[in-house]
């Protein structure tokens, strides 16, 4: 990866189903973060284009969500691609993506756009959570994407609870893992530091930079709590937000730190994959012990 990578995680507050308005504001964030803070990678949360989902029992909402979802490439990637060209930054955005051939089939996607304005990576959410299963087909490929910044990998919110995904991405060469969230305050609870702790854990386990960008704002009685974070290869927290304001969390990623951590703890040499087979055994095989 590059010696230094400047990143901005934008705790964006989406307006429900207002794709043109949301994308216009995101493009402004891209150009401002690049111009004022030198951002080379600008990240937006899960489903930033449409806002987070509501129950499919609301037929009117479900119909509008399908109508608001887009192809990739499409209007959102074209608009953010233009902002990327003007600013010279990479952009990662979460969006509701239409299947290219099958009507009314959607993916919950993280999309990577490079400074030329081209879409250079798409990762479909592998583990849809709760009501998301009513709308979104799970992804069946885990990918990494070479860039001028380093090799990037993408995952989406609930994916972070499955350490196997980040490990697969790291074994494929990932140096920076970008995780997009739309995490809301659970009823009867207060916002937690779960994003910070999970970023630090995934980073330390894999000796990678791990970036967790959560949204903010309210929608349909859901209050999204921000608290985005950036963790380094040793699990150290490089930057974090302690609130739910719409703002950016900024950090500088040093390539030398990744190299030093991998020299210090040789986790990839020390792995024992021949002992881990049970991790991939389906639950329907209880005899695998």
The dihedral through the CA atoms of 169, 126, 27, 25 has a sign that is negative
pLDDT at 289: 53
Q: How many residues does the chain have?
A: 289
Cα separation, 196 vs 200, whole angstroms: 6
Per-residue CA distances from 153 to 20, 52, 68, 171, 219 (Å): 27, 22, 26, 11, 29
**Residue whose structure tokens are 């990494």:** 144
Q: pLDDT category, 284, cuts 50, 70, 90? A: confident
| pLDDT for the residue 193 | 85
Phi, psi of 201 (to 5 degrees): -65, -50
Q: What pLDDT score does 283 carry?
A: 86
Q: What is the mean pLDDT of residues 192-210?
A: 95
Confidence band, pLDDT 50/70/90 cuts, at residue 152: very high
Domain 4-280 maps to which CATH number in 3.40.50.720, 3.60.110.10, 3.60.10.10, 3.40.50.1370?
3.60.110.10
- Residue 45: which of 185, 215, 188 has the closest Cα? 215
Is residue 281 pLDDT above 80, yes or no? yes
Find all residues with CB under 8 Å of 197, minimum gap 6, and list them: none
pTM of the model: 0.96
**pLDDT score at 21:** 98
pLDDT-based confidence at 96, cuts 50/70/90?
Answer: very high
Statement: residue 234 has pLDDT above 60 = yes
DSSP string, 40-53: SEEE--TTTTT-S-
Q: What does the pLDDT read at residue 223? A: 92
Is the per-residue pLDDT at 189 higher than 80? no
- Mean pLDDT over residues 114-140, rounded? 96
288 pLDDT exceeds 90? no
- CB contact set of 194 (below 8 Å; sequence gap of 6+): 183
* β-bridge partners, 94: 110
* Mean pLDDT of the residues in the chain: 95
Provide the pLDDT for residue 287. 61
Task: Work out the percent of the chain whose per-residue pLDDT is above 70.
Answer: 98
């Amino acid at each position: 990866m590059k010696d230094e990578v400047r990143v901005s995680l934008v705790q964006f507050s989406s307006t429900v189903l207002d794709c043109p308005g949301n994308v216009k504001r995101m493009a402004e964030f891209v150009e401002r973060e690049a111009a004022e803070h030198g951002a080379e990678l600008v990240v937006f949360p899960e489903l930033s284009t449409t806002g987070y989902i509501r129950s499919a029992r609301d037929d009117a909402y479900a119909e509008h969500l399908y109508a608001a979802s887009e192809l990739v490439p499409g209007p959102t990637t074209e608009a953010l691609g233009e902002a990327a060209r003007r600013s010279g930054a990479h952009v990662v955005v979460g969006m509701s993506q239409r299947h290219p051939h099958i009507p009314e089939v959607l993916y919950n996607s993280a999309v990577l756009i490079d400074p030329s304005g081209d879409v250079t990576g798409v990762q479909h959410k592998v583990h849809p959570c709760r009501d998301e299963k009513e709308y979104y087909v799970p992804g069946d490929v885990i990918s990494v994407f070479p860039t001028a910044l380093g090799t990037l990998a993408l995952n989406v919110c609930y994916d972070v609870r499955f350490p196997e995904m980040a490990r697969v991405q790291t074994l494929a060469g990932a140096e920076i893992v970008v995780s997009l969230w739309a995490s809301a305050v659970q009823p009867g609870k207060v916002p937690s530091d779960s994003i910070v702790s999970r970023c630090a854990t995934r980073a330390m386990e894999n000796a990678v930079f791990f970036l967790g960008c959560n949204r903010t704002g309210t929608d349909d009685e859901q209050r999204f709590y921000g608290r985005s974070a950036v963790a380094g290869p040793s699990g150290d927290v490089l930057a974090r937000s302690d609130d739910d304001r719409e703002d950016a969390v900024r950090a500088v990623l040093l390539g030398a730190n990744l190299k030093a951590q991998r020299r210090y703890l040789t986790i990839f040499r020390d792995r024992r994959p021949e002992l881990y087979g049970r991790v991939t055994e389906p639950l329907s095989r209880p005899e695998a012990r």
